[in-house]
Structure 1
Amino acid sequence: MEEEKKSLNFLEQIVEEDLASGKHGGRVLTRFPPEPNGYLHIGHAKSICLNFGLAAKYGGQTNLRFDDTNPEKEETEYVESIKADVKWLGFNWTNDQELYASDYFETLYQFAVELIKKGLAYVDDQPADMIAAQKGNPNFAGEDSPYRYRPIAENVDLFARMRAGEFPDGAKVLRAKIDMAHPNMHMRDPLMYRIKHAHHHRTGDAWCIYPMYDFAHGQSDSYEEITHSICTLEFDVHRPLYDWFIEKLNIFPSQQYEFARLNLTNTVMSKRRLLQLVQEGLVSGWDDPRMPTISGLRRRGFTPASVRNFCEKIGIGKRENLIDVSVLDFCVREDLNKTATRVMAVLDPLKVVITNYPEGKTEELSIENNPEDTESGSRLVPFSREIYIERDDFMEEPMKKFFRLGPGLMVRLKGAYIIKCDDFVKDEFGNITELHCSYIENSRSGEDTSGVSVKGVIHWVSVAHAHKAEVRLYDRLLILEDASQVGDDFKKFLNPDSLTVLSEVFIEPSLKEAKIGTNYQFMRKGYFCLDTDSTPENLVFNRTVGLKDSFKK
């Protein structure tokens, strides 16, 4: 039992202790509370898996609550994208578990009035810069606002007039009255409400005052009777204020717990910076496959299982660390190895003429769909006299232990015959344009009686049956490992090789029926999926990940 206890993460230990003590009546209710001001990224996936997974493990439930208290930055588009991402990851919620902080605007307003009447909140007329200056710093106490001791009745009246729209943006704020000398800066009379004459994506123009995160968050948790409010580590210093509001309002005692957020190498994990990349046209959109967004990962070909696996592998802790993106690549590689159909695609084509193979003849050769999955079966692939192979599968002057094609060298064509390079053709610039090879007739795979042994096996595509496609090769977004060290200068470290487009790729005919959402292994090249830009006339494939990590550190 002691060993099992040690294998639990610290949040699981807390939940088990709460359940054992009967706290919250043996209930577990968590919430995932994204702000709909952008698309979710891989860091949010960790939080989604944690909140939904923790509740499911202990027979509880999870609310999906949108923290929509900042109308100028929030949009319905983001709400819908968030719901799609959570569902794609494999988690669901009922209609009554889809909630919005804006559902509680009236309740939150009444909570604020209650604090004013208790002498614990006041309306401040000072501008934001003056309020900030008066807060002091961690080594020196702040100064009281000249409006801190306004009569309660005046504060109630002014707050009602703020709600009624009598004052312009920035004219007044509502602040909690706590302690201007508190060692925690968040406790120095924090803002609770600000005036914003902005259209809200759900409430329209019904409100012109909006609660600050620190006031809305804990009270929303409490209203929903959340038992375990799980946040990332940067909210650790906000917890005393979270607790203060709940205590002074004497409402359901939701409790906040913090875990280390996900930091990933060679990318940015800030929605503000990701939005900057989108707005400045440095990527094609929120779902650009180079982006760490969930929609970007989905478009690139990552599977829900691989993302969930990644979140489980990196674990839950209290200490910040930087996770190498190669761990994420490993997880999708591991998943796709079991499930992806093996197909043949030539990315850098070199034509081969098999001179002793009959002209006009076509054979249908059986190729395994996935040797890792015995249930996956096989398919027929056409073979003919002229084929495409990868240009780097031939060397005019082969190095030692080069087991592919070169003058006089032999290689096996995957699922087909052994061929020998007899000659090659160059153009006027000295580029090799065509190989002339001969095949060994009785060397067909599965029926080989030739007695010839070769070490190399290469893939190929029949010229007569090939279908042309575009392939997009994606790599790390940044050449810099840790973007948190450079602030807003991160754009200087964008990887110039993060996208390479190949427009002269030839694929086997079965891929003409490729579907979006299906993953393939291009033999010897990596894992690929069909992109949403594809049309029947122009198929576009994205490389999800190579067969091994090739990024230059």
Structure 2
Amino acid sequence: MSEERSLNFIEEIVEDDLATGKNGNRVLTRFPPEPNGYLHIGHAKSICLNFGLAKKYNGLTNLRFDDTNPVKEDVEYVDSIKEDVKWLGFDWANELYASDYFDQLYAFAVELIKAGLAYVDDSTAEEIAAQKGTPTEPGTPNQYRSRSVEENLQLFADMKDGKYPDGAKVLRAKVDLASPNMHLRDPLMYRIKHAHHHRTGDKWCIYPMYDFAHGQSDAIEEITHSICTLEFVPHRPLYEWFIEKLEIFPSKQYEFARLNLNYTVMSKRKLLQLVTEKFVDGWDDPRMPTISGLRRRGYTPASIREFCERIGVAKRENMIDVGLLEFCIREDLNKTAWRRMAVLDPVKLILDNYPEGETEVMHGENNPEVEGGDGGRDIPFGRELWIEREDFMENPPKKFFRLGIGMMVRLKNAYIIKGESIVKDADGNIIEIHCSYLPESKSGNDTSGINVKGTIHWVSVEHAKTAEVRLYDRLFQVEDPSNEDGDFKDYINPNSLQILPTVYMEPDLVNAELGKPVQFMRKGYFTVDKTSTADKLVFNRTVTLKDGWVKK
């Protein structure tokens, strides 16, 4: 955004810290995704915040994978996350993993046991939940809470050595069973999980819980500003408790409102359901809010960064209109996308007075927004053309400024034409529109003296190339599918994907490149799909030219 904006509350904190010389005038942030799924637009906000903050204040950002749950994690997700961060335009100072610190975290746990601040508990998950009490009633200690330091050290070592099955024992911090904050009621630090880890293999069969791994990883890396979303506010006292008791680097946690976007879901669990139950074509389906889905749909890094800038950083949750995201991509593509003509719903138009067998070459701009022009392209023109079916009406209403019998319209970059007659099939459908053209009305050299109100696009029948075009719309029919009654999948928009198997387009579009946007004139912005081949071109609609969504 060009206009000056005020500082957000996290920038104010950073500036205060720098003014007082805190952390040696360093700014080191981190982006800590769990590699159990693909990143979505909500993560993009966190990426832009963490990396953007460090960049603004000459700091650095670590990319740290929170790989403490081997059952759900995969190298595929690690690779996709790295690709997404780079695609958004950011570089990390260090690529790190919570698993890098497993030995150190184990040593920290031993330290807490020795200090009498952690114990091994044999209770079941259900018993522990019951013993924790309720928000209005304190928890109750069990017999394991009073185990000796020596017994706890031995049992914890035995847990590490694989002597117990999954779920047999856990390590808990001894904090405060009467705390009004449920997270402080002797939280779990380690659980037994005999599972192969994507990096450490079978070395470990105990794994740290998020609350124990996260703050300590921040401290080991000496992160100055640990930024996370609002649901972690109640976790902060525990974050600080571990750091205080271990006497390690005092990283500080700050929370901001996560991104809630209407007409979609952001839960990784729900997104995974959409993928595994085949409601969408994988994590990068162009209807998904994943970064890879947005990329495949034709969104640009600049448009997503601008969107994150516009929504800002707040302390309160709110719902953001997806229309703002669409506005940002339209603004970006208007400046960069080449203009081309493609006819999505074709009907044949014949210029009866145009010489048979003759071909002309018309000239069109690539992008009129580029100052001084950008060379443009040649467009073949002939006697027979494809036009959009909606651009002709047999009985047009008063303010219809396109084509009808006796009505004139300009063909983009070509001539003024007049509707003369139509041919219908046995079912009454128009299959041919016959017109006359004004030879003296050629674009750029018009001496006809006639002004027409409408301009329509076209493609030469003889020279047209074909493509499959996929028209994408919002995945859900309701603004907040997660808050509706019943299953969120019941609210999927049945018209979220429309496939047009044969679209006619000007021949230059065979040179369209993956990742290079194009505007189909009057129809929207499109991009080549990853499945496109020389033999079968496939285009995805990124966004319409205008916001055409009507609330049902």
TM > 0.5 between the two?
yes
Q: Deviations over 1:38-69 (max 9, x none)?
A: 00000000000000000000000000000000
Aligned partner of 1:37: which letter?
Answer: N
Q: Deviations over 1:384-417 (max 9, x none)?
A: 0000000000001001110101111110000000
Question: Residue type of the partner of 1:320?
Answer: E
Secondary structure of the corresponding residue to residue 215 of structure 2 = helix
Q: Which residue of 1 aligns with 2:264?
A: 267
Q: In 1, distance between residues paired with 2:209 and 2:319?
A: 30
* Number of the residue aligned with 2:397: 399
**Deviation (angstroms), 1:5:** 11
Alpha-carbon distance, 1:547 to partner = 0.5
Query: Residue by residue, what CA displacement relative to the aligned partner does 1:60-104 show, whole Å, maximum 9, x if unpaired?
Result: 00000000000000000000000000000000124xx00000000
Determine helix, strand or coil for the equivalent of 2:146. Answer: coil
Given that residues 396 and 406 in structure 1 are in contact (C-alpha distance below 8 angstroms), is that contact kept between their aligned partners in structure 2? yes
2:513 is paired with a residue of what secondary structure?
coil
Q: Does 1:113 align with 2:123?
A: no
Shift of 1:376: 2.2
The one of 489, 493, 501 equivalent to 1:503 is 501
Q: SS at 1:147's partner residue?
A: helix
Q: For 1:298, what is the secondary structure of its paired residue? A: helix
Within the candidate set 518, 521, 524, 1:520 is matched to 518
Distance 1:466 1:145 in 2: 78
CA displacement at 1:504 relative to structure 2: 1.8
Q: Whole-Å Cα distance in 2 between the matches of residues 424 and 451 of structure 1?
A: 27
Compared CA separation, residues 488 and 69, structure 1 to 2 (3 A): farther
Structure 1 counterpart of 2:151, from 151, 154, 158: 154
Q: Secondary structure at the residue paired with 2:112?
A: helix
Matched to 2:166, the amino acid is D
Farther-moved stretch of structure 1 (50-59 vs 373-382): 373-382
The Cα shift of 1:377 comes to 2.3
Corresponding residue of 1:484: 482
* Percent pairwise identity: 71
TM-score, length basis structure 1: 0.98
2:237 counterpart of 1:240: yes
In structure 1, distance between residues paired with 2:46 and 2:86: 14
Deviation by residue 1:245-281 (Cα, 9 ceiling, x = unmatched): 0000000000000000000000000111000100001
In structure 1, what residue type is equivalent to 2:398?
A: K
Residue-pair matches, total: 548
2:388 maps to what in 1?
Answer: 390
Q: Distance in 2 between matches of 1:330 and 1:5?
A: 20
Residue segments in structure 2 that go unaligned for 5+ positions in a row:
none
The 2-side partners of 1:442 and 1:270 are apart by: 61
TM-score for both structures, normalised by structure 2: 0.98
Distance in 1 (CA, whole Å) between partners of 2:374 and 2:208 is 55
Two-structure CA RMSD over aligned residues (Å): 1.1
Once residues 539 and 268 of structure 1 are traced to their aligned partners in structure 2, the CA distance between those partners, rounded to angstroms, is 31
CA distance in 2, matches of 1:5, 1:530: 36
Q: Which amino acid aligns with 1:316?
A: V
1:487 positional shift: 7.7
Quick check: 1:297 aligned with 2:297? no
1:24-423 alignment to 2 at 5 Å?
Answer: 24-94=23-93, 97-374=94-371, 375-423=373-421
Asked if 2 retains the 8 angstrom alpha-carbon contact of 1:370 and 1:377, the reply is no
Deviation larger for 377-386 or 219-228: 377-386
Distance 2:23 2:481 in 1: 41
User: Offset of 1:488 from its aligned partner?
Assistant: 6.9
Structure 1 gaps, min length 5: none
**Structure 1 residue 533, shift from structure 2 partner:** 1.0
Asked if 2 retains the 8 angstrom alpha-carbon contact of 1:5 and 1:13, the reply is no
Alpha-carbon separation, structure 2, partners of 1:243 and 1:325: 37
Residue 483 of structure 1: CA displacement? Answer: 2.7
State which drifts further: 477-486 or 42-51. Answer: 477-486
1:19 is aligned to 18
Letter of the 1:532 counterpart: K
- 1:548 match: 546
Q: Which secondary structure does the structure 2 equivalent of 1:144 belong to?
A: coil
1:450 counterpart (448, 451, 455): 448
Q: Give distance in 2, aligned partners of 1:144 and 1:486.
A: 40
Question: Are the structure 2 counterparts of residues 218 and 284 from structure 1 closer, same or farther at C-alpha, using a change threshold of 3 Å?
Answer: same
Alpha-carbon separation, structure 2, partners of 1:174 and 1:525: 60
Q: How many angstroms does 1:453 deviate by?
A: 1.2
